[in-house]
Structure 1
């Protein structure tokens, strides 16, 4: 039971501390792809801590679970965990954590179903406004141009992502700005950013009181845009994509004295124009490797008694 409680406290500590530490990193805006990886590793460590805590609690409470979990382990390893001596609290904790896992799966399923329904609805509306021409296939490489008074460009995720742009955007974007906007949207599609957004939204909606999940959702919305900006800027330059963002959004009031609180466009444009140098490859590699070790911590905690018994 001690290992289960340590894992539970470790997951709770990470859930509270991570939202305060990770966003303060001065390199996150310079390396949004690395920041995305760090957040995924942190959330994976939190979920893994709770899952392992549930497993050990269930093994301590019920002989059937214990036999399945420790079936290949020597008797000395089983004795090192001192299972079966914790009373009813182990079973209560296992049930609570199992309910949390089931609730997470239900929220993710609900999020995916809602996203699929919205995607089908938007594709049907798109077919009405831009029907296929004779001999034209509904493939992912199809660029759809819609009549519209507002400049806008977006992508429809799915097995065959589609890029959509309005005629107003075509009139406003000059030179390589159009190519930069399309490269930005293609960066979203190629990296499958929609899955990150769905998973983060499911966790945040399912557990609104857990700080790490709310921060995970908010940071995903911000970082995926920065990552897509970098994809476009590598091909067409920072100034080109910055001017394209201004052309597409200047009529929406996001660059005025009182921009909407949920917009990151001014910060994105300032970031592109400032041209802050990236981190060195060695430091990026170190950050990536360090983040990959975060989910290993709960595994080490879980296997400490076994390693001591075998050592």
Structure 2
């Protein structure tokens, strides 16, 4: 039972400490894609701690589970875990972790269902506001839809037939290069499949709102995906172009000026684009990727060390 307890302690420390360290660091704003990767590695490590602790606790509590878990292992590995000493407490831990896993799955399914309903509703609204005209043939390759609207706006509608929607007010406010930058921003979201990352983070935060790492993961994902898409657009059209496009699209929404929210994301994005910090050196980026990739291996190492020690 010592290994499941060690995994739970490790997962609890990661869930409590990692959000404080990452949210106080400034480098993710300079490297949002790298920041997203680090956050994903931390969350995967926490989930692995829970899954491995559940499997070993269940193996401690029930012989049938033990036989299945250790069936592929060589002789002597099972004895290295000393599983027969804490059956009663292990069963409670295994059931609680299994309930947490089932709840996580239910939250993810709910998030996917709600996203599909929202997407279906928006597509129905899109068909109402932009109906197919008599004699018009619309194919799956038609990805751009222009809507009549007084508010400048543009958004990507994901799905099997993705659509990029832009209002006529946005077409009037933006010049050609700014419009191309906005389109590139939205296509950057689509290429990186940011919608799936947003769904997963929302499901974890919705199911476990009191777990710091999941709540911070959701908030940071919402912020970092926008910064990453800004960078994708600025690489082709320049930072000034996408910054001016953001101002044109959001100027009438009250996000700028003395009455705006002090921590609003759009003003931060514009300031970041106009006053860019230098990117991290390549060597540091590579080290960060390597270290983050090793984080999910730590729970695996803790779980398999007793068994591997018998194979010497």
Normalised-by-shorter TM-score class = over 0.9
The corresponding residue for 1:267 is: 268
Range that drifts further, 40-49 or 155-164: 155-164
| Structure 1 position 284, deviation (Å) | 1.5
Question: For 2:53 and 2:141, how far apart are their aligned partners in 1?
Answer: 43
Question: For 1:186 and 1:261, how far apart are their aligned partners in 2?
Answer: 29
Q: Counterpart of 2:236 in 1: which secondary structure? A: helix
The unaligned stretches of length 5 or more in structure 1 are none
The corresponding residue for 2:10 is: 10
| Structure 1 position 40, deviation (Å) | 0.5
The corresponding residue for 2:294 is: 293
| Structure 1 position 277, deviation (Å) | 1.9
The corresponding residue for 2:204 is: 203
Deviations 1:182-212 (A, max 9, x none): 0000001111111111110010010111000
Q: CA RMSD in A?
A: 1.2
Q: Counterpart of 1:160 in 2: which secondary structure? A: coil
| Structure 1 position 7, deviation (Å) | 0.3
| Structure 1 position 136, deviation (Å) | 2.7
Normalised to the residue count of structure 2, the TM-score between the two structures is 0.97
User: In the alignment, is the contact (CA less than 8 A) between 1:140 and 1:162 conserved in 2?
Assistant: no
Question: For 2:287 and 2:126, how far apart are their aligned partners in 1?
Answer: 45
Question: For 1:100 and 1:235, how far apart are their aligned partners in 2?
Answer: 44
When residues 295 and 139 of structure 1 are mapped into structure 2, their CA distance, relative to the original with a 3 A threshold, is same
User: In the alignment, is the contact (CA less than 8 A) between 1:28 and 1:35 conserved in 2?
Assistant: yes
Question: For 2:117 and 2:139, how far apart are their aligned partners in 1?
Answer: 18
Number of residue pairs matched? 311
Deviations 1:43-90 (A, max 9, x none): 000000000000000000001110001012122111100012113000
User: In the alignment, is the contact (CA less than 8 A) between 2:57 and 2:91 conserved in 1?
Assistant: yes
Question: For 2:53 and 2:262, how far apart are their aligned partners in 1?
Answer: 39
| Structure 1 position 152, deviation (Å) | 0.5
User: In the alignment, is the contact (CA less than 8 A) between 2:62 and 2:87 conserved in 1?
Assistant: no
The corresponding residue for 2:84 is: 84
Normalised to the residue count of structure 1, the TM-score between the two structures is 0.97
Deviations 1:139-168 (A, max 9, x none): 254210000001001111112221000000
Is 1:215 matched up with 2:216? Answer: yes
User: In the alignment, is the contact (CA less than 8 A) between 1:132 and 1:138 conserved in 2?
Assistant: no
Deviations 1:254-285 (A, max 9, x none): 01113236730111001000122212222212
| Structure 1 position 216, deviation (Å) | 0.3
The unaligned stretches of length 5 or more in structure 2 are none
When residues 13 and 196 of structure 1 are mapped into structure 2, their CA distance, relative to the original with a 3 A threshold, is same
Question: For 1:140 and 1:218, how far apart are their aligned partners in 2?
Answer: 33
Range that drifts further, 289-298 or 127-136: 127-136
User: In the alignment, is the contact (CA less than 8 A) between 1:32 and 1:224 conserved in 2?
Assistant: yes
Question: For 1:205 and 1:259, how far apart are their aligned partners in 2?
Answer: 27
Q: Counterpart of 1:163 in 2: which secondary structure? A: strand
The corresponding residue for 2:114 is: 114
The corresponding residue for 1:304 is: 305
User: In the alignment, is the contact (CA less than 8 A) between 1:150 and 1:166 conserved in 2?
Assistant: yes
Q: Counterpart of 1:217 in 2: which secondary structure? A: helix
Listed as ranges, the matches of 1:226-237 within 5 Å are 226-237=227-238
Listed as ranges, the matches of 1:51-62 within 5 Å are 51-62=51-62
